[in-house]
């Protein structure tokens, strides 16, 4: 079964604290809180047991949703029974896990892809009540999901230049109407004649809680379509994650992979070049295989202590490669295998891990330190400390220049020109494949080509095009051409815009 992040109740074994009052009503409230927490603990533990019972991915997702709801009720009780002078501190990652468990199944019901994306160094905790953080994000996500019927719903987190934490909820829905924009965040913020039920209270609650914490909130329509709600928590609300024991840094300042002999199985030339250059920059010895058959031949003839295996490959898929490696009767069956794949959905993660993967690394590979540290975590070597804060950037720009220039610094000018030539060829082929799928009303080529586009675009900083490809990939799975056609047009325009940039970098007209 795939690894899942499990979160326990604050009181796994509820304890009754000695009351400091003889008031029968207060004592009754304490006992009631204890009993409710006990019941919630049983719900969560039963859910965990059922997760290990070999259920389907869909049923497992529903169980995690139940557990997340139970945790939310527990958080409400914690607020209700907290001492007045208690300083609230909320760990970030467990809260993100709760949000993902709660909203991923809801998004899947509507055919939407839901993801949580972290960029840069995340704080360990926030000086903020857990229930306030969850109320803010639950209300924003609920609003986005209500109005979205296609594409993707993304929760993004990043550190900005002043050290603050930026949290964005981005959707591919219709965006805010003019009437809605005039009343956003007000007490009764739903405009007259709205086609969805509700009062607009959710965004009002989010604004009140964000302002109370000392943060900022805003909402806007995205140039590429859809809406974005942004929350900024200032640096003084953030608590850094505990630092691991310091390890000596390699001379490059990047994670040290010089002890690894790696086989990279990747059929796309652009992705192969990016990954190879990054791995070599971190000191690894690398051999590339262009498909699954070449990979198995290389494993037979060479000694590798790590295989980085792309899942979608011709002749023999990455899943087949991993299954064949685990079925061997020699020591090579124990080779560490990491799956490389774009757009990992929960149902895919299950099959990848069941095929023998020791872990999954999501493409595109835009951050060399994160790529290296992900490898080191699985191979058992502590990660190198990296506290760099990425520069803020416009998520809707054609190219994120911090990513582009960072990659250029890593691989050098000559390799960058080679990469851009491969990107130009890839994007041209992908655009033709999407156009062919639309012309023939065949979603197969659209899904295949957007899968390639997701990793290729993000690899060199075309983040907006990456998100357009993610949205079209998700929409293509629905078979609804009223939604696929406009998404395809947006994606094709995004490809054209990025090709214009690539041509200019190559010295074209």
Two tokens, residue 477 = 């799975």
Considering the domain architecture, whether residues 109 and 80 belong to the same structural domain is answered as no
Considering the domain architecture, whether residues 98 and 234 belong to the same structural domain is answered as yes
- Is the distance from CB of 402 to CB of 409 less than 8 angstroms? no
Boundary residue ending a domain (388, 420, 450): 388
Considering the domain architecture, whether residues 367 and 412 belong to the same structural domain is answered as no
Domain span including residue 300: 261-388
Chain position carrying tokens 């774009």: 342
Does 209 map to a domain? yes
Whole-angstrom distance, CA of residue 134 vs CA of residue 108: 20
Considering the domain architecture, whether residues 367 and 457 belong to the same structural domain is answered as no
pLDDT of amino acid 285: 92
Whole-angstrom distance, CA of residue 169 vs CA of residue 140: 7
Task: Report the run of H or E that residue 30 belongs to, with start and end.
Answer: helix 24-51
Three-state SS at 169: strand
- Of 488, 492, 461, nearest to 472 by C-alpha is 488
Residues 6 or more apart whose Cβ sits within 8 Å of residue 333:
325, 326, 327
Whole-angstrom distance, CA of residue 317 vs CA of residue 399: 31
Does 114 map to a domain? yes
Q: What number of other Cβ atoms are within 10 A of residue 234's Cβ?
A: 14
Considering the domain architecture, whether residues 274 and 306 belong to the same structural domain is answered as yes
Does 222 map to a domain? yes
**Gyration radius of the chain's alpha carbons:** 24
Neighbouring-strand partners of residue 228? 170, 220
Question: How many residues belong to the chain?
Answer: 509
Question: Can you list the residues of the chain whose pLDDT is less than 70?
Answer: 1-65, 67-87, 187-200, 242-253, 343-348, 380-397, 508-509
- Is the distance from CB of 403 to CB of 411 less than 8 angstroms? no
Residues 6 or more apart whose Cβ sits within 8 Å of residue 190:
180, 183, 198, 199, 200
Considering the domain architecture, whether residues 105 and 224 belong to the same structural domain is answered as yes
How far, in whole angstroms, is CA 450 from its chain's centroid?
Answer: 17
Considering the domain architecture, whether residues 17 and 113 belong to the same structural domain is answered as no
Does 415 map to a domain? yes
Considering the domain architecture, whether residues 321 and 410 belong to the same structural domain is answered as no
Considering the domain architecture, whether residues 212 and 95 belong to the same structural domain is answered as yes
Task: Domain count for the chain, please give it.
Answer: 4
Does 1 map to a domain? no
Does 244 map to a domain? no
Does 256 map to a domain? no
pLDDT of amino acid 476: 84
Does 397 map to a domain? no
Two tokens, residue 405 = 């220039």
pLDDT of amino acid 386: 46
Boundary residue ending a domain (84, 115, 140): 84
- Roughly what angle, to the nearest 10 degrees, separates helices 92-109 and 57-81? 130
Which CATH number goes with the domain that contains 311? 3.40.50.2300
**Which phi and psi angles does 117 have, rounded to 5°?**
-115, 125
Tens of pLDDT, residue by residue over 281-298, are 888 999 999 999 999 999
Which CATH number goes with the domain that contains 214? 3.30.565.10
Considering the domain architecture, whether residues 96 and 221 belong to the same structural domain is answered as yes
Boundary residue ending a domain (84, 100, 133): 84
Strand-strand pairing, 152-159 and 125-126:
unpaired
Two tokens, residue 95 = 């809260």
Considering the domain architecture, whether residues 234 and 113 belong to the same structural domain is answered as yes
Tens of pLDDT, residue by residue over 43-71, are 655 555 555 555 666 666 666 667 666 66
Considering the domain architecture, whether residues 98 and 232 belong to the same structural domain is answered as yes
Two tokens, residue 323 = 């299954």
Strand-strand pairing, 165-171 and 227-233:
antiparallel
pLDDT of amino acid 346: 54
Nearest 5 degrees, angle CA 305-CA 306-CA 308?
Answer: 165
Which CATH number goes with the domain that contains 414? 1.20.120.160
- Is the distance from CB of 348 to CB of 61 less than 8 angstroms? no
């Amino acid at each position: 079964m795939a690894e899942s992040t499990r979160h326990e109740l604050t009181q796994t074994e509820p304890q009754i604290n000695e009351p400091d009052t003889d008031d029968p009503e207060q004592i009754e409230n304490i006992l009631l809180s204890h009993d409710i927490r006990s019941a919630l603990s049983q719900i969560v533990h039963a859910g965990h047991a059922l997760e290990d019972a070999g259920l389907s991915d869909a049923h497992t997702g529903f169980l995690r949703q139940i557990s997340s709801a139970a945790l939310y009720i527990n958080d409400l009780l914690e607020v209700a029974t907290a001492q007045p002078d208690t300083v609230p501190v909320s760990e970030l990652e467990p809260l993100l896990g709760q949000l993902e468990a709660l909203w991923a199944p809801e998004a899947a019901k509507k055919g939407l892809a839901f993801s949580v994306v972290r960029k840069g160094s995340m704080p360990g905790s926030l000086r903020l009540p857990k229930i306030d953080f969850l109320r803010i994000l639950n209300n924003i996500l609920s609003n986005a999901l209500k109005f979205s019927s296609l594409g993707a719903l993304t929760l993004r987190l990043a550190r900005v230049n002043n050290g603050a934490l930026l949290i964005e909820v981005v959707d591919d829905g219709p965006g805010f109407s003019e009437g809605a924009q005039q009343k956003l965040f007000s007490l009764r913020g739903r405009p007259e004649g709205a086609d969805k039920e509700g009062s607009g209270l959710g965004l009002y609650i989010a604004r009140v809680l964000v302002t109370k914490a000392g943060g900022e909130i805003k909402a806007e329509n995205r140039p590429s379509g859809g809406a974005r709600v942004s929350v900024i928590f200032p640096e003084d609300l953030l608590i850094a994650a505990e630092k691991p024991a310091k390890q000596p840094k390699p001379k490059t300042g990047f994670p040290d992979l010089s002890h690894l002999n790696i086989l990279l199985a990747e059929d796309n030339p652009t992705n192969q070049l990016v990954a190879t250059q990054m791995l070599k920059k971190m000191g690894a010895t690398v051999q590339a295989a262009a498909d699954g058959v070449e990979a198995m031949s290389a494993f037979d003839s060479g000694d590798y202590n790590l295989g980085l295996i792309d899942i979608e490959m011709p002749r023999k898929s990455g899943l087949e490669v991993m299954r064949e490696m685990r079925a061997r009767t020699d020591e090579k069956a124990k080779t560490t295998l990491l799956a490389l794949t774009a757009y990992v959905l929960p149902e895919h993660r299950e099959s990848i891990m069941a095929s023998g993967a020791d872990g999954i690394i999501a493409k595109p590979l835009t951050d060399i330190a994160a790529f290296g540290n992900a490898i080191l975590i699985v191979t058992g070597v502590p990660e190198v400390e990296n506290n760099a804060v990425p520069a803020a950037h416009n998520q809707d720009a054609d190219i994120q220049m911090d990513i582009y220039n960072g990659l250029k610094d890593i691989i050098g000018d000559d390799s960058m020109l080679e990469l851009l030539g491969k990107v130009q060829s890839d994007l041209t082929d992908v655009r033709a494949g999407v156009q062919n799928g639309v012309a023939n009303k065949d979603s197969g080529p659209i899904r295949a080509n957007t899968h390639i586009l997701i990793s290729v675009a993000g690899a060199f900083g075309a983040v907006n095009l990456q998100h357009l490809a993610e949205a079209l990939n998700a929409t293509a799975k629905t078979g609804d051409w009223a939604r696929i056609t406009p998404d395809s047009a947006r994606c094709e325009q995004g490809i054209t815009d990025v090709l214009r940039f690539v041509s200019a970098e190559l010295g074209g007209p």
